[in-house]
Every structure is written in C-alpha cells, then in structure tokens.
C-alpha cells in the first residue's frame, strides 16, 4: 500500500538554524534550504561540474587542431579540471552537458574555423564558423551531451582554417573564451 502526503507548503521551524528537513528514520535524506541550497545524497546534485575561462589571448597556428588553454577556474566542484582537461572522477560516470565558446580576431573572409570537444584524445564533436568579412572578430561555440565513464576525459580544441596564425581573444571585460561541463542527474 502506498501513502501520499500532499501539502501546500513545507517549512522549517524557526529554531532550526540549519534550515534542514530530514525525511525518514533509518534511511534518511536531508534537504537543506536557504541561500546555499544543498542536497543529500549527492546523487541529486549536478556534480561534478566545472567552469573555466581564458582571460588572455592565445595564438592559434593555422591548419592544425590546437588544445585550448584556460587560465582561470570559476569553480570546480570535484577538483577534476586540471591542465586544461576535465577527467571524470571515480564513481561519477554518466551523461554530461559540455559547453565551450571561443572568439577569433581579425579573420580573413572565407576562413572556416572550428571549436571541438576531444574525448579521450580524439575529436568527438565539433562546430564550425565561416567568416564573411575580412577583419571580423567572430565568437562561436559548441554544446552537447556526452556519455562519459569514470576516467574518461574531455578537452576543448580549436582549428584555425585561416591562411595565417590568429589569436583567440580571451582578454577584455567579458568572458569570451570558456569551457565547462556538468553531470546531468536523472538522465
């Protein structure tokens, strides 16, 4: 027999400084509320997750795939992002939403440039952009869902299809060159 509890609002006692509600007796689940919402068990969180960006320019040689570098980590929940590579921690396999954005400066008309995600050292998926006006600075990105197992790793790469080396423009007041991912719960 299944019991259903329906309520309009569930609130903590004013004396509950931790702002938590515990469900169950022997097999408990604690849900924390407030400005720093957390969940227990951790299987309910979209982690591991990370977000990194490049605040400086990176020169990209033409005609070859180049691994992107990121000099600033905004967050890295499981310390799994190092040396511009995200490695899935032990027991954290699953589906991941992965995203990246790059910005090339001063391209020639007709140049076709790519941003791509490498998985375990091989190109897994990519997006391209064709420059239509000489001298344009072009921002474009890629996002997708990847099935990643424990110890799989992903990296952000780019291909400069212009006739000469070009800069990825990370410097400036806005974050323009970025890379991140998070595990999708329930997928």
pLDDT digits (tens, 9 = 90+) for 32-66: 555 555 555 555 678 999 999 999 999 999 999 99
- Same domain membership, residue 149 and residue 59: yes
pLDDT for res 37: 53
Is residue 68 a contact partner of residue 58, using CB atoms and an 8 Å limit?
Answer: yes
pLDDT for res 34: 54
pLDDT for res 186: 82
Residue 34 structural domain: 7-40
String of DSSP letters for the chain: -------S-----TT-TT-EEEE-SSS-EEEE-SSS-EESSGGGS--SEEEEE--S-EEE-BTSEEE----EEEEETTS-EETTEEEPPTT--EEEEEEEEEEE-SPPTT-EEEEEEEETTEEEEEEEEE--STT--EEEEEEEEEEE-TT-EEEEEEEB-SSS-EEE---SSS--SEEEEEEPTT-
- Same domain membership, residue 163 and residue 109: yes
Count of domains for the chain: 2
- Same domain membership, residue 96 and residue 25: no
- Same domain membership, residue 143 and residue 67: yes
pLDDT for res 1: 66
Is residue 183 a contact partner of residue 96, using CB atoms and an 8 Å limit?
Answer: yes
Q: What is the pTM of this model?
A: 0.77
Q: What parts of the chain have a pLDDT lower than 50?
A: none
- Same domain membership, residue 60 and residue 36: no
Q: Give domain status of residue 2, yes or no.
A: no
């Amino acid at each position: 027999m299944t019991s259903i509890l329906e309520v309009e609002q569930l609130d903590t006692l004013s004396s509950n400084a931790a702002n938590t509600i515990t469900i169950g007796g022997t097999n408990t689940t604690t849900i924390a509320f407030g400005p720093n919402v957390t969940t227990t068990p951790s299987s309910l969180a979209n982690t591991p997750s990370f977000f990194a960006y490049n605040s400086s320019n990176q020169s990209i040689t033409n005609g070859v795939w180049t691994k992107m570098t990121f000099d600033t980590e905004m967050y890295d929940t499981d310390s799994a992002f190092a040396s511009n590579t995200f490695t899935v921690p032990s027991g954290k396999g699953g589906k991941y939403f992965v995203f990246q954005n790059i910005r090339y400066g001063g391209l020639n008309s007709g140049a076709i440039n790519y941003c791509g995600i490498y998985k375990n050292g091989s190109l897994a998926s990519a997006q391209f952009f064709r420059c239509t006006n000489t001298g344009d600075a072009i921002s474009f990105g890629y996002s997708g869902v990847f099935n990643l197992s424990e110890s799989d790793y992903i990296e952000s790469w780019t291909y400069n299809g212009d006739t000469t080396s070009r800069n990825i423009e990370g410097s400036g007041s806005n974050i323009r060159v970025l890379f991140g991912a998070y595990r999708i719960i329930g997928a």
